[in-house]
Chains A and B, each alone.
Chain A
Amino acid sequence: MAACSDHPNIECLTYSAVREVSGNAGDFTVTVAKRPRYINESLCTGCGECTEKCPGKVPDEFNLGLAKRKSIFFHFAQAVPRIPVIDPTACLMLTKGKCGVCQKKCGAGAIDFKQTEQLVKARVGTIVVATGFDIYDASLATEYGFGRIKNVLSSLQYERLISASGPSGGHLNKPSDGKPAHKIAYVLCVGSRDITSNNYCSALCCMYAAKDAMLAREHDAGSESFVFYTDTRCSGKGFWQYFEKARSEYGVNFIRGRVSRITEDHSGNPVMWYEDTKQRRAKTLTADMVILANAIVPAFGTDKLAAMLGIELDKFGFIATNSFSPTDTNRDGIFVAGCVGGPRDIAEAVAHASAAAARAAETVTREAAVPAIGNRG
């Protein structure tokens, strides 16, 4: 992120959304709406004093509701650019016209409650769509009790819990009572490989489940890890070895079988009902905490963006690409990078994005009427 924002040829428009696209390969005109941060970006030094004194307290999106944030906040610690945002739905000044503590505290005079949305027009030769993915809302898989059973968490919530800079300082504490979880289960294919939700494989979950289970064991050597899987999908570089390490060195228990439902026992512990397909027996397992491997699904708004760009979606709602030219959309000059075209891990997304950059460079080299970079019309 830092390298991107520092690059002399890259102009980052953060907290912004594309509103309109016209033109063709070689000469597109894009209208971007810059949402108001209520901060003067050129004055703000990113010191963060405003966020200290703000009296607001609302659920923190970055920590997926596991912590609270202020009404004026940084999205996360390493956010680029390091400029806070005021949440207009929570800020007392913007909702009720009183408070303004941040404005008083800001030594740089950067708070601007009167800021409004700005439309920016840019002429570009080519467009790369890299808007990523969302995770499947596990509450739709009602049998797993996500949102109902406190100690059933999503994979991303787990990432926040195990992060040293996360809401629990890296400790795997149960949301129900704040006590450490010793027995943790990971349920794969939640919303993936399932004709009732998404009939595809999310490609990343097997590997991160193995990683998550190993991290838990590193964090607490006395803990137990159980991974419920269908097939271990490990075709990337070094992946199978990684699995074997989880199994043999870390003692992670892999159970082949899909969990049919999760209930809660009287002490708030989730109970998994499943068939161990290798033992051909229906069983239950009670754990302190269950982590669901949510499917990778198209990001909210991908359909709208695709319509604006005039590009097609595949039957799952990801942007459709050619199997043998996986960065190309149906429109010349518009390319995709990363999970917007389907699930990909980091290494794949990086190489894929470089390929999209190569295709974009081909377009601007080919087209005679290349507008200067950053030339706003």
Chain B
Amino acid sequence: MSIQLQATKKQDPPDEETPRIGVFICHCGANIAGFVNVEEAAKYASSLPDVAFVQKNLYTCSETGLREIKTAIKEHKLNRVLVASCTPRTHEPLFKSTCQEAGLNRYLFELVNIREQCSWVHMQDPVRATEKAKQLIRMGVARVALLEPRQEITVEVTRKALVIGGGVAGISAALSIAASNIPVILVEREKELGGLLRDVNKLYPTLGAASELVDEHVKKLQKAPLIKVMTRAKVLNVSGFIGNYKVQIDSAGEQIEDTVGVIVVATGARIMIPNGMYGYDGKNVVMQTELERRLKDGSFSARSVVMIQCVGARVPEREYCSRICCMTAIKNAILIRETYPETEIFVVYRDIQTFGTLYEEDYRRARELGVGFLRYGLAKLPAVDEGGVTVYDELLGKNVRIPYELLVLSAPLVAPEGVTELSKMLKVPLDANGFYLEAHAKLRPVEFATDGVYLCGCARWPCDIGDAVYQGRGSAARALIPLRKGKVYAEPLYAEVNPNVCRDCRRCVESCPYSAITTVEETVHGYQRTVSKVNPVLCKGCGACSVLCPTGAIGMKHYDNTLIMAMIGKAF
């Protein structure tokens, strides 16, 4: 298919009013004017079709410059504005607001960048820099002439939240949201709250009882009348979008339906059962949780304990560190040495993860208490026989056999059952390990790319209690933005499907990173058909769907083909 550049002959502007474009060219001191001949560019701009007014400003963004724009809009009855200045990242919002203040729709504005794209990069060639500036202005004028006025989209937000998961992360999120006087539904799959903590004896680094921390959290929940706790509950169905999620929940056989504005995912993790590994039998070869249980109820009796770290973690099948196991082992080793000083303990590890200011001293303390640490590598895994573990210690460079009465395996946290189902229901992604994938690994760690859905705790990645608490509260803070505002505003720059051309291939649905596209039944020319539909609130206007659509059914509002072809037509 060839692109016909001539096909972009001037069309009538949509509002049937002749465009009267005002062009404002910025000197930016000497930043632009030092290399681009602003005088010449201005003269050229006045020669372009539909341009009714041209002005040069020393700084268009200064108070004076902005005032000049507003005056010109009124005095010269301008209905379109083009500013030729710097990057849109800096001042585009300011210029748009200025247009609005002068009574012009803010979307009848266009900016071309003649600083970064002309004067700064072509300093050595002012003549051609000026030519390029003229070209950009010509293209900008062609585009702005065809722009249509648009209105921002506003959606009411139901002031209620759903938190899925009643562990420490979910409870923290629920408490924080309710503290802003917003009702919360807290859904827990088990019959009791507390999540993974219910299987823990003592907590590192304080060595306080885990049950006390759970009780403290549950008490706070009981004192929060706005939080409705549902145990033995399951989310059956979710539909809708930010501000208006319809949710269906089954709680111990009873089904309820409700509408919530946002959803927080705090579904946690489970500990991998090391079946078939190192002779795991639940009796003499146990998991750390079983050791915790024996320490708690006093049935612990071994005189020699060996702990193996990274059992099923940091291996090709599970390429990650589970974050909490080193400190769990060190905590339990310290507890044993303090309570049962005659018991010998060795920890067989690969790298000790005692990060930050809280844990390194515990590692040192364990060694002071006589806990032995042996370092192994992935190349030579420890070998377990009846009553002994043979370890190739990388630092000694030899095999060491340590006898044990109790062998404790530190297995990683893994994604719990049901995550795939829930992730599909909520239309949010999982990573390769089955943990939920956040919007941005660094900058948006506790929210999804889909607006209105947030995440925290072990659902995101293995984490300890402190992490779970701040992530729970952090996700609540993000969720509270739409909840407290009571409204969501979306820019009217979104994709739109032409149902006449859509053939229901659903590539757009799969491509959308924001889950903004669904399929609907629609009557097209008297026929009932399934076609794609874009939710303008969720759509960010990224254009991924438009590029993939094989029939060209999807156009981008404010960036549709007519506008782009008009610019290309003027480019050469």
Contact = CB atoms under 8 A, between A and B. Distances in A.
Partners in one complex: yes
Contacts of B484: 361
B170 interface: no
Contact of A278 (B364, B394, B456): B394
Contacts of A6: 93
Contacts of B471: 351, 355
A6 B97 CA distance: 13
Contacts of A348: 445, 467
Contacts of B473: 327, 354-355, 358-359
A277 B466 contact: no
Contacts of A256: 394
B465 A323 contact: yes
Interface stretch (B3-11, B235-243, B267-275, B313-321): B313-321
Nearest to B445: A347
A236 B320 CA distance: 9
Nearest to A354: B474
Interface string B453-487: 00010001110011101111111111010001000
Nearest to B474: A354
A354 B471 CA distance: 8
Interface in B13-32: 28-31
A346 interface: yes
A206 to B, nearest CB: 9
A273 interface: no
A355 B320 contact: no
B551 interface: no
Contacts of A108: 58-59, 62
A200 B203 CA distance: 19
B276 interface: no
Nearest to A363: B179
A125 interface: no
Nearest to B318: A240
A235 B358 CA distance: 15
A318 interface: yes
A49 interface: yes
Interface in A274-306: 277-278, 280
Interface string B407-450: 00000000000000000000000010001000001111110000
A146 B467 CA distance: 35
Interface string A308-319: 000000101010
Contacts of B523: none
Contacts of B354: 201
B65 to A, nearest CB: 9
Contacts of A362: 176, 179-180
B319 A237 contact: no
A201 to B, nearest CB: 5
Contacts of B460: 237
Contacts of B31: 47-49
Contacts of A344: 356
Among B322, B355, B466, residue most surrounded by chain A Cβ atoms (within 10 Å)? B355
A231 interface: yes
A239 B465 CA distance: 20
A351 B445 contact: yes
Given A47-B31, A278-B395, A347-B445, A233 B357 contact: no
Given A47-B29, A354-B477, A355-B477, A233 B59 contact: no
B32 to A, nearest CB: 9
Interface in A165-198: 193, 195
A323 B361 contact: no
Interface string A339-376: 00011101110111111011101100110000000000
A320 to B, nearest CB: 10
Interface in B226-284: none
A354 B31 CA distance: 39
Nearest to A278: B394
Contact of A342 (B356, B397, B477): B356
B360 interface: yes
A233 B326 CA distance: 11
Given A200-B360, A231-B352, A361-B179, A347 B59 contact: no
24 contacts: A47-B29, A47-B30, A199-B360, A199-B361, A201-B357, A235-B353, A238-B441, A278-B394, A318-B357, A323-B465, A324-B203, A324-B465, A324-B466, A327-B470, A343-B357, A348-B467, A351-B471, A351-B474, A352-B474, A354-B473, A359-B473, A361-B179, A365-B179, A365-B181
Interface of B: 28-31, 58-59, 61-62, 89-90, 93, 176, 179-181, 203, 205-206, 213, 314, 319-323, 351-361, 364, 394-397, 431, 435, 441-446, 456, 460-462, 465-467, 469-478, 480, 484
Given A231-B351, A237-B320, A352-B470, 17 more contacts: A201-B357, A201-B359, A238-B320, A238-B441, A241-B320, A278-B395, A323-B206, A323-B465, A325-B469, A326-B469, A326-B470, A342-B357, A355-B471, A357-B477, A358-B476, A362-B176, A366-B179
Q: Across the A-B interface, give the 3 residue pairs with the lowest CB-CB distance, nearest first.
A: A354-B474, A235-B323, A355-B473
Interface of A: 2, 6, 45, 47-49, 82, 107-108, 193, 195, 199-201, 203, 231-241, 244, 256, 277-278, 280, 314, 316, 318, 323-327, 342-344, 346-348, 350-355, 357-359, 361-362, 365-366
